[in-house]
Amino acid sequence: MTRVSRLLCVAFVIALPHVGAAQDQTLADIRQELTVLHVEMQKLKRELSTTGGAGNAALAGSALERLDGLEAEVSRLTAKTEQMEFRVNQVVADGTNRIGDLEYRLVELEGGDTSKLGQTSTLGGGAAPVAVAAAPVTGTTLSNASELAVNEAADFERASGVLASGDFRSAAEQFAAFGQAYPGSPLEAEAQLKRGEALEGAGDLTEAARAYLASFSGAPEGPVAPDALFHLGNALGRLGQTNEACVTLGEVGVRFGTSSAAAEASEARRALGCQ
């Protein structure tokens, strides 16, 4: 395979809209590869532009034309990658700031020392890929059961049954134990949401708000995120933090306007007299 052919293959692979290997790469990695490819093409263009025999003139001209087209495509992809990276960084920074503010408010509500709050963990876990939340669990149906660890589904169902029976304190303990036993579980966000419901039922509204916050921040685009954000705003309202509650409930409609939680949040805002 000639050097031109190899570069054409590399450029084609990078330009594909869905490359399997790219799932394990960061945007910075992809941008670096595009930069390296651009440099290699520049070197090859200089080689093709050197004086050659008459028989090679047509081949060199054809190769240069292809390289010009590839160079333009690499430049376009590099710019698009940089724009995407900038947008991702903006979303992460905004989400992290919002979570940090909510954590600060919750510590204030408890009368704790806000000066001892550590730095808020970066939304998404730093450089880790954004997790795709699992489908919600309804009743005894676990559509993602194949992804769960042994006994994981059973433990979740058991805790859910205790919650449904009205034994809120025991349910809260079981959901807390579930989170410790299965860190990173596809059901983690829903387990935190249900733990919040159990704590709220037991009368521990402040800890319930913490659980709702953990559920939302763990999967801010997941299937239970609208409910978690609504319950968080509702809990803040019941704790007397009206301004924070109004802002949080307003975010439900902004982020999840078509969800049933958005309608509930709108009713709650009216009840609180939010502007």
Average pLDDT of the chain? 74
92 burial level (CB within 10 Å; 0-12, 13-18, 19+): middle
What is the rounded end-to-end Cα distance, in angstroms, of the chain? Answer: 68
- The pLDDT, as a whole number, for residue 30 is 67
Q: CB-based contacts of 128: which residues, under 8 Å, 6+ apart?
A: none
State the sign of the Cα–Cα–Cα–Cα dihedral 103, 107, 108, 112: negative
Q: Which range has the worst mean pLDDT, 57-61, 65-69, 159-163, 222-226?
A: 57-61
The average pLDDT across 214-238 equals 92
What confidence category does residue 72 fall into, taking pLDDT thresholds of 50, 70 and 90? Answer: confident
What does the pLDDT look like over 124-177, one tens digit per residue? 444 433 333 333 444 433 444 445 666 888 999 999 999 999 999 999 999 999
Q: Where are the alpha helices (DSSP H) in 166-259?
A: 168-181, 188-201, 205-218, 225-238, 242-255
The average pLDDT across 59-74 equals 65
pTM above 0.85? no
- Using the predicted structure, report yes or no on whether residue 42 has a pLDDT greater than 90: no
User: What are the phi and psi torsion angles at 129 (to 5°)?
Assistant: -65, 150
184 burial level (CB within 10 Å; 0-12, 13-18, 19+): exposed
Q: Which range has the worst mean pLDDT, 30-39, 60-69, 117-126, 192-201?
A: 117-126
Task: Give 65 or 170, the one with higher predicted confidence.
Answer: 170
- The pLDDT, as a whole number, for residue 118 is 61
Task: Give 249 or 10, the one with higher predicted confidence.
Answer: 249
- The pLDDT, as a whole number, for residue 119 is 58
State the sign of the Cα–Cα–Cα–Cα dihedral 231, 237, 241, 243: positive
Q: CB-based contacts of 178: which residues, under 8 Å, 6+ apart?
A: 155, 156, 159, 185, 187, 191
- The tokens for 237 are 């309202």
Q: CB-based contacts of 22: which residues, under 8 Å, 6+ apart?
A: 30
Residues 235/207, Cβ–Cβ less than 8 Å: no
Angle between helices 168-181 and 188-201 (to 10 degrees): 160
Please state, in angstroms and rounded to a whole number, the distance separating the CA atoms of residues 258 and 72.
Answer: 41
- Using the predicted structure, report yes or no on whether residue 181 has a pLDDT greater than 80: yes
Q: Which range has the worst mean pLDDT, 113-127, 191-205, 234-248?
A: 113-127
- The pLDDT, as a whole number, for residue 92 is 65
Percent of the chain with pLDDT over 70: 50
Please state, in angstroms and rounded to a whole number, the distance separating the CA atoms of residues 156 and 134.
Answer: 14
What confidence category does residue 8 fall into, taking pLDDT thresholds of 50, 70 and 90? Answer: very low
- Using the predicted structure, report yes or no on whether residue 51 has a pLDDT greater than 80: no
Please state, in angstroms and rounded to a whole number, the distance separating the CA atoms of residues 20 and 236.
Answer: 43
- Using the predicted structure, report yes or no on whether residue 201 has a pLDDT greater than 70: yes
Residues 56/113, Cβ–Cβ less than 8 Å: no
- Give the count of beta carbons closer than 10 Å to the beta carbon of residue 246: 20
What does the pLDDT look like over 75-130, one tens digit per residue? 777 677 767 766 666 666 666 666 777 776 776 776 666 666 665 555 444 443 33
Percent of the chain with pLDDT over 90: 36
- The tokens for 222 are 């997941």
Please state, in angstroms and rounded to a whole number, the distance separating the CA atoms of residues 209 and 272.
Answer: 17
The average pLDDT across 179-206 equals 93
What does the pLDDT look like over 248-268, one tens digit per residue? 999 999 999 999 999 999 999
